Amino acid sequence: LVRRLRPHGESVFATMSGLALQHGAVNLGQGFPDDPAPQAVVEAARAALAAGHNQYPPSRGVPELREAVARHQREHYGLPVDPATGVAVTTGATGALAASVLGLVEPGDEVVTFEPAYDAYAALVDLAEGTLRRVPLRAPDLTVDADALAAACGPRTAVILLNSPHNPTGKVFTPAELELVAEQARRHDAVVVTDEVYEHMTFDGVQHVPMASLPGMWERTITISSAGKTFSVTGWKVGWASGAPELVEVVASTSQWLTFSGGAAYQPAVAEGLGRIGELVDPLTRELGRRRDLLVDGLRAAGLEPLVPQGGYFVVADAAPIGVSDAMAWCLEIPQRLGVAAVPVSAFCESPAGVESLVRFAFCKSEDRIREGTARLRA
Ligand code: PMP
Ligand code: GLN
């Protein structure tokens, strides 16, 4: 294995799911839903398979999915995405993130992101031989520190990698915070790569605002999303990038040499689903909001101090009140000792300093599992 990948080791999600399986633990670690996918979307995939959609789709994606993504961006956010030139379908959001970073970052370039950060970001920046600069989101309020952000950005900043709604904290960036990011991108002529995989998972009336909708940002933003979270089909690995043609061209050109294409029969099914968000996804999001409350209450009852998330799949909780000082060690131990799996927030950070006792729990799980998992923690 090349030297630059060695420090990344095994993804924490694989480690913790492995332990959950080994010990029969309730898996509140890795973020995949227990809920079935919407029936209409599964049926559409079945129909596409039966109709013989079994060969390579076009590298940029099948026309109906590109149309559906363009229409989705227009109808939900007013973004002028062109289906022919403004969409590139990829192998999950991860494929779009990889193609963006590898296609935009020269060796020695800098990439700025907020920490904690989804674990793939640091590995991808290392693959591109770039340098990641991390701007902390500090608990409990998780607001963007404008000075820290400005200090992290400079003439070598090629990309600002943003994630809203945010994994692991569930923070939804406000328009004012997005504007702080936009200002830095404009000042340093950087591209914002925005990971919006949880775009439809927001609670309490909080609205997701895409970076590309801010003034002057259409021209410098690559917007990434995925069917995995929106339709509870994380194993399908159908994602996409959308935006201005020159930027999407970067993703499409790079993606050719990564995987070329994939998911022939899934792509038309995702296209079907994207046109029916209100009917197929909004009820799941309301249910997810109830599961969030159940998890937050269960964690409190177990003596932890949860931060209440506005979006996404996860609750970050401080386990210091129950005596946890090393969340990584604790998360490696509890699948066997308590029968619960979770993920330490330190896996999203360069160093555990400041997050030693923070643990991430997923609520995209069945009510029974959330009840059982939190009961085991309480015991
Ligand atoms: N970005 C974030 C913030 C995620 O939480 C995930 C994991 N679901 C991904 C990207 C990867 O998405 P996909 O499975 O579509 O590659
Ligand atoms: N995004 C999921 C999570 O945060 C996991 C994705 C993965 O396993 N690679 O839990």
Chunked mean pLDDT (size 10), the chain, 379 residues: 95 97 98 94 98 97 98 98 98 98 98 97 98 92 96 98 98 98 98 98 97 97 98 98 98 98 98 97 96 98 98 98 98 98 97 96 97 97
Task: Decide: 15 and 341 in contact? Cβ < 8 Å.
Answer: no
Mark whether 50 and 126 lie in a shared domain: yes
Residues 73 and 216 in one domain: yes
Domain's final residue, options 276, 292, 323: 276
| Atom number, ligand 2, closest to the C-alpha of residue 94 | 9
pLDDT at 183: 98
CATH code of residue 87: 3.40.640.10
Q: Residue 120 CA: which ligand 2 atom is closest?
A: 9
d(CA 362, CA 31): 6
Residue pair 94/239 in contact (Cβ under 8 Å)? The answer is yes
Q: Are 44 and 269 in contact (CB under 8 A)?
A: yes
Co-location of 249 and 262 in the same domain: yes
Ligand 2 centroid to Cα of residue 336, in Å, is: 21
- In this structure, the answer to whether residues 292 and 162 fall within a common structural domain is no
What's the domain range around 18? 3-30+281-378
Write out residues with Cβ below 6 Å of ligand 2. Answer: 11, 13, 30-31, 167
Q: Spell out the residues 6+ positions from residue 65 whose beta carbon is closer than 8 angstroms to its own.
A: 87, 89, 238, 240, 267, 268, 270, 271, 274
CA of residue 13 to ligand 2 center, whole Å: 6
User: How far from each other are the two terminal CA atoms of the chain, in whole angstroms?
Assistant: 43
Q: Name the helix (H) or strand (E) containing 238.
A: strand 238-243
Regarding the beta carbon of 226 and ligand 1, being less than 6 Å apart is answered yes
CB-count exposure of residue 38 (10 Å: 0-12, 13-18, 19+): buried
* Ligand 2 mean position, distance from CA 188 (Å): 31
Same domain, 313 and 354: yes
Say if residue 80 is in the same domain as residue 209: yes
Q: What is the ipTM of this complex?
A: 0.98
Please give the order of strands across the beta sheet that includes 110-115: 87-91, 238-243, 221-226, 191-195, 157-163, 110-115, 131-136
| pLDDT number for residue 139 | 76
CA-to-CA distance for 328 and 313, rounded, in angstroms? Answer: 20
Q: What's the CA gap between 209 and 177, in Å, rounded?
A: 11
- Residue given tokens 């689903």 in the structure block: 273
Residues 271 and 294 in one domain: no
If you measure from the C-alpha of residue 16 to the centroid of ligand 1, how many angstroms do you get, rounded to a whole number? 17
- Regarding whether 230 and 105 lie in a shared domain, the answer is yes
Nearest CA to ligand 2 atom 8: 13
Q: What are phi and psi of 364, to 5 degrees?
A: -80, 35
Order across the sheet with 343-344: list the strands: 305-306, 314-318, 358-362, 343-344
Cα–Cα dist 252/71, whole Å: 19
Q: Which two tokens stand for residue 311?
A: 């979006």
SS (H, E, C) 339-371: CEECEEHHHHCCCCCCCCCEEEEECCCCHHHHH
What is the Cα Rg of the chain in Å?
A: 20
Same domain? 140 vs 240: yes
Q: From the CA of 201, which ligand is nearest?
A: 1
Cross-strand pairs, 191: 159
- Residue 291 pLDDT: 98
* Unique residue bearing structure tokens 């269960």: 298
pLDDT at 138: 79
Q: Are residues 23 and 83 both part of a single domain? A: no
CATH of residue 356's domain is: 3.90.1150.10
Do 232 and 306 belong together in one domain? no
Task: Tell me, using a 6 A CB cutoff, whether residue 118 lines ligand 1.
Answer: yes
Residue 359 sits in the same domain as residue 288: yes
Place of tokens 């996404």: 312
Domains identified in the chain, total number: 2
Out of 276, 293, 324, pick the residue that ends a domain.
276
* Boundary of a domain, candidates 223, 247, 276: 276
Taking the centre of ligand 2 as the mean of its atom positions, its distance from the CA of residue 271, in whole angstroms, is 23
Measure the CA–CA gap between 335 and 159, rounded to whole angstroms: 38
Rounded to the nearest 5 degrees, what angle is found at the Cα of 338, between the Cα atoms of 332 and 339? 85
